[in-house]
Chain A
Amino acid sequence: MKKITSFVLLILVSSMVLGGMTNTAQAQNDPTILLKIAKQAQKQLENQINQNSSDKTKQLFKEGTRQIKALEESLKNNDIDSAKKYFLSAMKIFKEISQQLTNNQFSQVEVVTLKNTVTDPSADLFRIQEYVNNLKIIAKKYNTSINFSEIDDLFVTAKKQITDKQFDDAIQTISKIKQITDDFNNKIRGNASQQEQSRAKEYAQKYLEQLDRLIEDVKNQGLSEDIIQKLVDARKNLSATTDPQEIIKQIKEIKSIKEHLKERRK
């Protein structure tokens, strides 16, 4: 039995030690990531640099490529510190090249890309969908009778319109989705406020119990009457209110009295 206990102890200790090591390892960088990111950037910029690019840009690109080679070499030699240094240096150069390319070569293709960025409402659709998904979960929690099928259909329509490049139509559909979402949001918040009121009352009740104990303590310690009176008044106000915002206000007042009390005790 002793052997088994010792064995289990050994396992627990070793797993704790190894667990600690794992956490440390997680905080460190996986150096191969650096090379992948840098190479992606290099490849992308290489595609964009052409004969019209300035000599300075080309020179910078060569320097960036040298840094990547040095990064690769450092990784082979397991010299992580140097690898990190070369990565940051390469990425700094690539950022500079990107900015230069932007300033010097505003090509036709890029104008089209930017135009697409402005008119394509995909991002807007994703955003609102994420929001609606959140509302759906909350609506379910409150057992509301909100029917999301119409809005789901509109999402399908908007996606199709975006796929078909009918961006103006998609924008209109998204606008409809937003209107419906606002209605749903108001309904859900209406339900939520009723629940919040009961949660606030429950919370205030717990606080009142603590306050009763505090008042008792203060009386026993023979502290000044004005403090006791303040606490009693605050208790009265808190127990009288049901509005969540008023509850917060009253609790904050009680907290300030408690702080004052602490100061006095010092």
Chain B
Amino acid sequence: MNPEIVPVYEKESIREDGMLFVRTDGILETMVKAPLILAGLIIVTVLMPLQTSFSSTRTLELTIYSDGSTHVSTKIDVDPLEPDFELNLFGKSIDNFVATGDTGFLLSEKIIEDKAIIDIFGSSSIIVDYNTDDLVSKEGRVWTFSFDSPSDYTLLMPKNSVIVGMSNLPNNMELVDEQTKLGLTAGLSEINYIFTPINPTIHKPTISSESSFNYVNAVIIGGSIIAVVMGIVLMLKRKQSKSLPSIIQTESTEKQTETKFNDAETIFNFRPEMREDDKEIVKFISDKGGQVLESELRKKFLQPRTTMWRAVKRLERLGVIEIDKKDLQNLVKLKKDLEEEK
């Protein structure tokens, strides 16, 4: 060994048996580069969801039918290097078993009691669906769902059922087509329920746990997105300030071209089959001078983003509007020339 004190930025290479010393005042410039951190953070941010989701059971959804049988639907990550995969089933009475690979092809299986040996041949994930009668028992008129889950899961209760006993705490609840859908954690859970001829959805308007929960998430995520967008806008503005005259010129040209559009009546005559709610949208755009931001439409009609986007795309297909981009937002404009459906 021949240790040497060598400032790393003064010598390009060091001897194999040498010891590396770095001057602390040069460390920031030499080793810590902002772009590198940025790239690293981006990679970490991208990989984080993958890391958290990379587990054996990716999703597990259970649906209880009114006669006590349970439909199990699960997506599982498997080792693509193995020729087959042994799956523990949630019961011994298995019916309607279907396993598909990640390309959607049917996989053959052999079911032995509560195990299924599935030939995966290179699939990295499999989707398995089956019914089992072994998760629900009945005593008198009280039905009991008892399940020791290997992972978090969702449970869709049968219609007209009311939960009257629970051994574990749910982490979520929502109503899906008048059926209660619970989010439950891994481990043993017992849920007792009864059927009632009276619709149990007496508290229907108040069951909005998920929406209130999502609101918090939405604020957090939305805040981050807005901050990023603001950053990008700031960057763009800096660039724009350098070429301002040309942009002003372009905007004035745009204004000139935007003045002419078809009024709502002409459009309705052209497209008599148009849906009533779509007509309202067209009328609103027309009243607003022939163009509005998509966000304005959402505010006006109190529609979620996806619903409004579908409506806008529908109108675009009908050939009555066109969608442009303005300041990273969708600008919906009535078309000057009506055209046949795409």
Whether the pair B224, A40 counts as a contact (CB closer than 8 A) is no
List chain A residues, Cβ under 8 A from B37.
Answer: 9
Whether the pair A9, B165 counts as a contact (CB closer than 8 A) is no
Check: A241 CB closer than 8 A to any chain B CB: no
**Contact pick for A2, options B34, B108, B140, B200, CB 8 Å:** B34
Produce 1/0 per residue, B233-244, CB < 8 A to A: 011000000000
How long is the Cα–Cα vector from A87 to B127 in the complex, in angstroms? 35
Check: A186 CB closer than 8 A to any chain B CB: no
Whether the pair A44, B142 counts as a contact (CB closer than 8 A) is no
Whether the pair B195, A138 counts as a contact (CB closer than 8 A) is no
Check: A141 CB closer than 8 A to any chain B CB: yes
How long is the Cα–Cα vector from A98 to B166 in the complex, in angstroms? 12
How long is the Cα–Cα vector from A4 to B239 in the complex, in angstroms? 13
Q: Is the interface of B mostly helix, strand, loop or mixed?
A: mixed
Check: A11 CB closer than 8 A to any chain B CB: yes
Whether the pair A103, B100 counts as a contact (CB closer than 8 A) is no
Segment among B7-15, B63-71, B251-259, B295-303 that sits at the interface with chain A: B63-71
**How many A residues touch the partner, as a band?**
35 or more
List chain A residues, Cβ under 8 A from B141.
Answer: 98, 102, 110, 113-114
Given contacts A4-B231, A41-B164, contact A127 B71 (CB under 8 A): yes
Segment among B214-222, B262-270, B278-286, B307-315 that sits at the interface with chain A: B214-222
How long is the Cα–Cα vector from A113 to B134 in the complex, in angstroms? 22
Whether the pair A135, B98 counts as a contact (CB closer than 8 A) is yes
How long is the Cα–Cα vector from A22 to B38 in the complex, in angstroms? 22
List chain B residues, Cβ under 8 A from A188.
Answer: 106
- Interface size, chain B (Cβ < 8 Å): 74
Given contacts A4-B234, A39-B203, contact A141 B104 (CB under 8 A): yes
Produce 1/0 per residue, A13-24, CB < 8 A to B: 111101101110
How long is the Cα–Cα vector from A40 to B122 in the complex, in angstroms? 48
Produce 1/0 per residue, B89-125, CB < 8 A to A: 0000001101010001111100000000001011000
Instruction: Pick 24 A–B contacts, CB within 8 A, sort by A.
Output: A8-B228, A8-B231, A11-B228, A15-B228, A16-B45, A18-B224, A30-B209, A36-B203, A36-B207, A36-B209, A40-B202, A41-B165, A43-B202, A44-B194, A44-B196, A114-B141, A131-B131, A138-B98, A141-B105, A142-B106, A189-B108, A200-B83, A206-B122, A248-B83
Question: Taking beta carbons and an 8 Å cutoff, which residues of A are in contact with B?
Answer: 2, 4-9, 11-16, 18-19, 21-23, 25-30, 32-34, 36-37, 39-41, 43-45, 47, 84, 87-88, 91-92, 94-95, 97-99, 102-103, 106, 109-110, 113-114, 117, 120, 122-124, 126-128, 130-131, 134-135, 137-138, 141-142, 188-189, 192-193, 195-196, 199-200, 202-203, 206, 244-245, 247-248, 251-252
Question: Taking beta carbons and an 8 Å cutoff, which residues of B are in contact with A?
Answer: 34-35, 37-38, 41-42, 44-45, 48, 52, 65-67, 69, 71, 83-84, 95-96, 98, 100, 104-108, 119, 121-122, 129, 131, 139-142, 158, 162-167, 169-173, 185, 192, 194-198, 200, 202-203, 206-207, 209-210, 212-213, 216-217, 220-221, 223-224, 227-228, 231, 234-235
